[in-house]
Amino acid sequence: MTVVAVIDSGGGNIGSVRYALERLGARSILSVDPATIASADRVILPGVGAAAPAMARLHALGLVDPIRRLRQPLLGICLGMQLLYESSEEGEVECLGLLPGRITRLQPAPGVRVPHMGWNLLQKHESQAGSEPLLAGIGERDHAYFVHSYAAPLTEHTLASAVHGARFTAVAGRGRCFGAQFHPERSAAVGSRLLANFLALEA
């Protein structure tokens, strides 16, 4: 059985993330202990809220460097994905630096409300389509559920994107580090498939 350490980042989505993992046959452990996290088969960094207090919590718990040193697959979800980048405009905070780029605020416009809340179309990026196991079985017309006001830019590590006013990174990947801006635990079959693919990744 795959053991997944879910980092206790204080977010309100932790319970639903753990339930989604357990439905897929994984064992989840909620932890802030660096040794427990480092010994797990997979690690998930969930998050709901703002970047600055989330990073302050990780620093206070002594988890910043242990997260940076992880060698097993790591998945950041929503705010957790944003924390994987170099910095965030939200609170002008330095983040984990595992993915290059800066998180910026979504810009409201006529017909474009911020925060972005609801289902949105995922678009795989051509350079990654068919070659990224995290997105296996997720089609070009599939939708996922988003709740966020900040987002990551498009980079060479963008695996899939979505549009809310402007196009932003919806799924990112670099080496063993991955992020999903949407909530897989609330995205029905698409979210379940992404989590199953994450559990199946080679360590």
pLDDT tens for the chain, residues 1 to 203: 899 999 998 766 788 999 999 999 999 999 999 999 999 999 999 988 899 999 999 999 999 999 999 999 999 999 999 999 999 999 999 999 999 999 999 998 888 999 999 999 999 986 655 558 999 999 888 999 999 999 999 999 999 999 999 999 999 999 999 999 999 999 999 999 999 999 999 87
Long-range CB contacts (within 8 A, 24+) of 20-23:
20/184, 20/185, 20/191, 20/192, 20/195, 21/195, 21/199, 23/192
Q: What is the CATH number of the domain that holds 8?
A: 3.40.50.880
Nearest-angstrom CA–CA distance, 196 and 203: 14
pLDDT of 31 reads 96
Structure pTM?
A: 0.95
Total tally of structural domains belonging to the chain: 1
- Single-letter amino acid, residue 70: L
| Residue 20 lies in domain | 3-200
Q: Alpha-carbon distance 158 to 92, whole Å?
A: 23
Q: Mind telling me the catalytic residues?
A: 78, 183, 185
Contact 190, 179 (CB under 8 A): no
Task: Supply the pLDDT for residue 13.
Answer: 75
Q: What is the pLDDT of residue 150?
A: 97
